[in-house]
Amino acid sequence: MIRKIAQILISLLLVVAGSGLARAEMRLNLQQPETIIAHQIYHLHTVILVICAIIFVVVFGAMFYALWKHRKSVGHKAEQFHENTTVEILWTVIPFLILVGMAIPATKTVLAMKDSSNPDMSIKVTGYQWKWRYDYLDEDISFYSNLATPVEQIENRAPKGEHYLLEVDNPLVVPIGKKVDVLITANDVIHSWWVPAFGVKQDGIPGFVRDAWFKVEEPGVYRGQCAELCGKDHGFMPIVVEAVTEDKYKEWVAQQQSKKSQASAASAVDANKTYTLDELKAEGEKVYGKTCVACHMPNGQGMPPTFPALAGGKTATGPIAAHIDIVVNGSKKNPAMVAWKNQLSDLEIAGVITYERNSFGNKLGDMVQPKQIAAARK
């Protein structure tokens, strides 16, 4: 009876595993390591897994042997021995020695992971609800990195792309062969920056900065995810790192810096321009769709009480000054509503406020100019 059931069990497990192994996507092990540390971790894991598997086979070999042979139904009579100090000492000391053997290479890797001295470059990584911000401390480049997967794919109205949930608008770009020190923190709650191919995972703790380092060997695109529950879109704030040759990296840096000076030139123009209602609403609709919709919903219904409704809402239909204040400076009561002055330009904020006051059934007809936002920042 037992043999029959064991056979069924084993066949079932093989079918399950086999049907899985047949497909390329069914990964059974850690991701392909792309840094020295990731290699060391991969190797450590393999060795320890094999040791555990050997111990497992020996120990359960003995147990299954006993289950088979030392049964009443095959006529085996129970011996009555018990207690044996020698055996107890042996099976305490031998496992202890095996553990010491595992701890030695593990210690070496812990110390290597912690040695972030003499990096070639430093990047500050800040976790936000629910995106990442990257600040290249040596190059004065910074940008936000948001999930780029369209909402239609998540809601099953469009087929899912190859990098579903693992694609962003602005990836982190790093040169290969250089030691990159990432200084990780967070803006609101604890997040965790994790790129499996690098063997790097470091929690971003608000108010503190902790670092981790990596040196990528091969050019490529490496994807990871936030690894600490941070609220509703914890599963929707991936990390994408593009490791490129040093020349390509320098090109990219130059590009970013010229974009930046163009943007500041543009906002200097914005500051003095007076926009029409339609221009502001169009800008605002873009901003809303990218930034606000996750919490306040496409129809402005929100999810009260944490994410108030904008449709007919007190702030969106009340005095303009209060509406500006909450978008620019965030909410004191509700930390989920951050100070958008740090992430959006005057034009973007002016646009989105105008849009909100004239959409979702709100028909206030008023508009807000970028220069009002510039004034509110002071």
Q: Cα(363)–Cα(377) distance, rounded to whole angstroms?
A: 26
Q: Which is nearer to another protein, 231 or 286 (CB)?
A: 231
Site string for another protein, 60-79 (x = CB under 8 A): x-xx--xx--xxxx--xxxx
Q: Cα(29)–Cα(47) distance, rounded to whole angstroms?
A: 13
Least distance in Å: CB of 294 to another protein? 9
Least distance in Å: CB of 127 to another protein? 12
Q: Is 338 among the residues that bind another protein (CB under 8 A)?
A: no
Q: Which stretch binds another protein (CB under 8 A): 135-143, 222-230, 254-262, 341-349?
A: 222-230
Q: Is 316 among the residues that bind another protein (CB under 8 A)?
A: no
Which member of 116, 225, 301, 317 binds another protein (CB under 8 A)? Answer: 225
Burial class (CB in 10 A: 0-12, 13-18, 19+), 316: buried
Q: Cα(115)–Cα(109) distance, rounded to whole angstroms?
A: 10
Sign of CA dihedral 249, 251, 254, 258: negative
Q: Which is nearer to another protein, 217 or 228 (CB)?
A: 228
Quote the tokens at residue 176: 């290969």
Which member of 20, 298, 312, 361 binds another protein (CB under 8 A)? Answer: 20
User: Of 284, 276, 275, 283, whose CA–CA distance to 355 is shortest?
Assistant: 284
Q: Is 235 among the residues that bind another protein (CB under 8 A)?
A: yes
Quote the tokens at residue 299: 């129809």
Q: Cα(180)–Cα(160) distance, rounded to whole angstroms?
A: 33
Least distance in Å: CB of 27 to another protein? 4
Element (H, E) at 210: strand 210-214
Residues 36 to 55: which contact another protein by CB under 8 A? 37, 40-41, 44-45, 48-49, 52, 55
Q: Cα(309)–Cα(301) distance, rounded to whole angstroms?
A: 5
Which member of 28, 261, 268, 363 binds another protein (CB under 8 A)? Answer: 28
User: Of 365, 363, 350, 366, whose CA–CA distance to 312 is shortest?
Assistant: 363
Give the three-class secondary structure for 148.
coil
Which member of 14, 50, 57, 59 binds another protein (CB under 8 A)? Answer: 59
Which stretches of 172-296 are assigned E, i.e. beta strand?
A: 172-175, 180-186, 191-195, 200-204, 210-214, 220-226, 239-244
Which member of 128, 134, 194, 360 binds another protein (CB under 8 A)? Answer: 194
Q: Which is nearer to another protein, 13 or 277 (CB)?
A: 13
Residues 132 to 191: which contact another protein by CB under 8 A? 153-156, 160, 162-166, 184, 188-190
Residues 239 to 298: which contact another protein by CB under 8 A? none
Q: Is 118 among the residues that bind another protein (CB under 8 A)?
A: no
Q: Is 200 among the residues that bind another protein (CB under 8 A)?
A: yes
Q: Cα(114)–Cα(117) distance, rounded to whole angstroms?
A: 9
Q: Which is nearer to another protein, 28 or 268 (CB)?
A: 28
Calculate the dihedral angle through the C-alpha atoms of 360, 362, 366, 371, rounding to the nearest 10 degrees. Answer: -40
Least distance in Å: CB of 322 to another protein? 22
Which member of 3, 81, 268, 274 binds another protein (CB under 8 A)? Answer: 81
Q: Which is nearer to another protein, 138 or 152 (CB)?
A: 152
Give the three-class secondary structure for 17.
helix
Token pair 């303009």 in the structure block, residue: 320
Q: Which is nearer to another protein, 102 or 221 (CB)?
A: 102
By the 8 A CB rule, do 289 and 146 touch? Answer: no
Q: Which is nearer to another protein, 30 or 311 (CB)?
A: 30
Least distance in Å: CB of 314 to another protein? 16
Which member of 3, 86, 118, 207 binds another protein (CB under 8 A)? Answer: 207
Q: Cα(281)–Cα(357) distance, rounded to whole angstroms?
A: 9
Least distance in Å: CB of 201 to another protein? 5
- Give the count of residues interacting with another protein (CB under 8 A): 107
